[in-house]
Chains A and B, each alone.
Chain A
Amino acid sequence: MTLTLDAPRIVTTRPLVTLRDVTKTYGDVQAVTRVSAEVFPGEVLGIVGESGSGKSTLLRMMNLEDTPDSGSYTLDLPDVQGNLFELGRFARRMLCATKIGIVYQNPHLGLLMKHSSSGNVAERLLIAGERRFSVLRDKARAALAASEFPLERLDAPPIELSGGMQQRVQLAKAIALEPALLLLDEPTTGLDVSVQALVLDTLKRLQQDRNITMVIVSHDLGVIRTLADRVMVMRRGEVVEAGLVDQIFQDPQHPYTQQLVHAKL
């Protein structure tokens, strides 16, 4: 199953992200099977599916934390060439620090919990080579402000913050270097409803104001419906259906997608 790869295009020409035939197994378990997808500049792609469907595995591979058994991954950016899965460790680290941002469901994966919030963001800038203190401070502050983090709490370590605030620090860290691609792995899961709305609104504003390309994985269909332009439905490692967000919700074609959509409260 492919996502728009075969359809004729007249308006938009080049995707930012192209995944082709990505397959990953863990022992006997086929986690991701021949997944191909394109994501276009400024677009938000939502990935939905039940637990174990392979959606988070796919996202981790897009963040180059994991390498598939086969398949290719390209980003249409200046100075970024070839199959990214073939890059060495250092090149991956640099690419992820500068071009790709990620927000994890669990803030412990993305943050140093006992360092200050501004320090967490500045760390990302340091990895990318920035050494001037004033620039580090100003850029960290700007990224936290864009994520709607209360600036009077810049020095507070994430461990002292609420879940919603921790997600904002993660988001600030992810966008500090204005990445071309922002990956979001269940960014609102576990947050209470009012905080969830704040995080969703921040993401929507970032997407509109900065035109950031996003891939968001969530089992919460409301989140996907609010944020995504297109949706890819995964089951047992395979893409069973892909389409515009309103088409997936209003006229799902695959039996599994129908089941998923009709199960929503």
Chain B
Amino acid sequence: MSVILHVQGLTKGFTMHHLGSQMAAFSDISFDLNAGEFLLLKGQNGAGKSTMLRTLYRSYLAQAGQVLFHSDHGVIDLLRAADVDVTHLRRTEIGFVTQFLVARPRVSAEDLVAEPLRMAGHSAPQALDKARYWLKAFGVKDSLWRAYPTTFSGGEQQKVNLARALILPRKLLLLDEPTASLDAHARVALVARLQELKQNGTAMIGVFHHPDDVEHLIDRVIDLTPDAPNMEDRADVAV
């Protein structure tokens, strides 16, 4: 299997200037991730699981280490890449699925979901067709497709969010508690979509409040609890 991500000595902490203090999140994390592999991050609250995902995505700036991503353009260190390159990779190769929808005023659910496809060069009607397909798959009622998601319930917003985040297949997908606030139907649809993406080679790193939802997808686990053995094979670990 081909390596997608090579992480070496990744270290992150936060400087809080108004308190004059530093707060460590995690240090010296190393692992490789192959195409089609699913890596679960586990650990107690505050262990740094979401921080790790955001650091890999470059929403947070790492303090040390290397994150070599094997992009279609060659190998690129995500920690040091130009912002414009990171923006490009986010539009095309690296996805981030959070539990929160970033809705925009006056943009309908179907337009919001179609946007990543339009940005990737698909025609507007084609993007809209696929958007409707995924909204339906995640169980969003068709009467809501043209409405503004800012007014939706938390669960409905999350379905729109998932449809948008997963509509375009990526090489690397970062999943931050995507099943939170989902009903059973949407959870089944999500797991089926993740399974399909995995089979097609998408590498995934995920944080799940209830890992049982994706148990059959997990290949490996990293425990970020301080002093825990860092990395294990799925076969040896009770999730």
Query: Is B82 a contact of A197 with CB atoms below 8 Å?
Result: no
The answer to whether the Cβ of B31 comes within 8 Å of any Cβ in the partner chain is no
Number of B residues contacting the other chain (C-beta, 8 Å)?
32
Establish whether residues B89 and A11, one from each chain, have CB atoms under 8 Å apart when the complex forms.
Answer: yes
Q: A7 contacts B115, CB within 8 Å?
A: no
Decide if A244 touches B87 in the complex (CB within 8 Å).
yes
Residue in B closest to A230 when the chains form the complex, CB atoms: B83
Tell me the bound Cα distance from A200 to B103 in angstroms: 13
| Candidates B15, B60, B81; contact of A10 at CB < 8 Å | B81
| Number of CB contacts from chain A to chain B under 8 A | 89
Q: Is the CB of A11 within 8 A of B88?
A: yes
* A247 in contact with B59 (CB, 8 Å): yes
Does A253 contact B61, Cβ atoms closer than 8 Å?
yes
Interface size on A, residues (CB 8 A): 32
A115 to B12, CA, bound (A): 58
Q: Note all chain B residues with C-beta closer than 8 A to A7.
A: 80-83, 85
Q: When the two chains form the complex, which single residue of B14, B15, B82, B104 contacts A226, counting CB atoms closer than 8 Å? A: B104
Residues of chain A within 8 A of B107, CB atoms compared: 201, 204
Q: Shortest CB–CB separation between residue A22 and chain B, in angstroms?
A: 20
**Cα distance A9–B73 when bound, in Å?**
10
Bound CA span A63–B14, Å? 38
Whether B83 and A243, one on each chain, are in contact in the complex, defined by CB atoms closer than 8 angstroms, is yes
C-alpha spacing A247/B87, complex, angstroms: 12
Distance, CA A38 to CA B85, complexed state (A): 13
Measured CB to CB, the closest approach of chain B to A250, in angstroms, equals 5
**Interface of chain B, helix or strand or loop or mixed?**
mixed
Chain A's closest residue to B17 (CB) is: A255
For B106, the chain A residues whose CB sits under 8 A away are 197-198, 201
The verdict on A258 contacting B87 (CB below 8 Å), with A201-B107, A247-B59 known, is no
Judge whether A50 is part of the interface by a CB distance below 8 angstroms: no
- Compute how far the CA of A247 lies from the CA of B59 in the bound complex, rounded to whole angstroms: 4
Interface residues of B in 1-41 (CB under 8 A from A): 14-18
List of B residues within 8 angstroms of A246 by Cβ? 59
Asked whether any CB of chain A lies closer than 8 Å to the CB of B74, the reply is yes
Question: Quick one: CB contact mask for A1-31 with B, threshold 8 Å, 1 for yes?
Answer: 0011001111110000000000000000000
Find out whether the CB atom of A244 lies under 8 angstroms from the CB atom of B85: no
Q: Is the CB of B73 within 8 A of A11?
A: yes
Contacts of A3 in B (CB 8 A): 83
B73 to chain A, nearest CB (A): 5
Give the contacting residue for B61; candidates A4, A8, A43, A251; CB below 8 A.
A251
Q: Could you tell me if A253 and B104 are in contact, using CB atoms closer than 8 angstroms? A: no
B85 touches A9 (CB 8 A): yes
Interface contact A11-B104, CB-CB below 8 Å: no
Q: Can you spell out 13 A-B residue pairs with CB atoms less than 8 angstroms apart?
A: A4-B84, A8-B80, A9-B81, A10-B71, A38-B84, A204-B104, A208-B119, A230-B84, A247-B61, A250-B54, A251-B59, A255-B17, A258-B17
Q: Which 9 A-B pairs have the closest CB atoms?
A: A197-B105, A7-B82, A255-B17, A251-B60, A11-B85, A246-B59, A9-B82, A201-B106, A11-B88
Given A9-B84, A198-B106, A251-B14, 13 additional A-B pairs, CB 8 A: A7-B80, A8-B81, A9-B81, A10-B74, A11-B84, A12-B82, A12-B84, A12-B88, A201-B107, A208-B119, A244-B83, A247-B58, A251-B59
